Structure 1
Amino acid sequence: KNMKLILAPGLVVMVVRTICRASSTCSKFDVNLLHKIKDSHKILVMAGAGLSTPSGIPDFRSPESGLYSNLQKYKLPYPEAIFDLHFYASNPAPFLDLAKTIYPGAGNIKPNIGHYFVRLLETKGKLLRMYTQNIDGLERCN
């Protein structure tokens, strides 16, 4: 009865896809997972960049499309400098410019179905905790 259901990023995506599909196409695994979610009250979600990439926020390390691969215009000494406090103290402009592009409400950045699913878990009192390195906060948006 005190067991916790842990949803890794892949499972969150799978759950969301399952909810969106017609029930006639659900596998036995999908149905069992949905029942576990329905019957659980302490769900832990662990989410990474994959949760927000469908919203238009790049992950950090993917070749060509990742954030670190597209920072040339800032002429940084190294890609991680954009998040380095010492670098920021001497030159805040690159971080402030980047923050405007990935902050919710900026441009077309909007929560996706995965974010709404996490929000729904919280609203229904099923979310125990969410661990994420994401900085966008989209799971908190309405």
Structure 2
Amino acid sequence: MSTRSCPAAVAARIVVLATKVKIRYAGSSTFAPSTIVQAQWTAERRQRERFVCEQPPYSLLVRGVEADVLPTCETYRMGVLAWSPPAGGRLSGRWHRDAADLSSHRTRTMPFRTTSAHYDLDIPGNQAKLDAATELAGIADDAGYSAAVLSDPKHRRRAVVR
């Protein structure tokens, strides 16, 4: 059974398995808000343990979850563990317009064409991310912080993100 065919049933099955092997808490990763709701309802209806956290991609460059995933997690009192808060290394402070070398271990070793496209600077969206990273590095430097510190989601106001 795939998560695409019946995500709530799969989520409930995972939680049951987690209970059997004595895992204390279970969470989901990159679930859509509707899937989070289905999983919560299924767990309640079947009187099973529920997912207690979600792990979405979340950074200053990837903030789409603020519109729907984070409010859904707040509603169900789920914690959020940000996945890739430095945006794949872009917000580490090393990536900026004036950098002599924009390659990294990550960009040299990415085996998948779709993954390496995340770093291809011929793609306009990646150029925009580089511009944003450059601007963040400047703001951080002016404030006396590193870009990595300013890009960390735990410094944002939303209480649900940890």
Q: Normalising to structure 1: TM-score of the pair?
A: 0.31
Q: Normalising to structure 2: TM-score of the pair?
A: 0.28
Structure with a larger share of its residues in helix: 1
Query: Bigger relative contact order, structure 1 or 2, given CA contacts below 8 A and separation 6+?
Result: 1
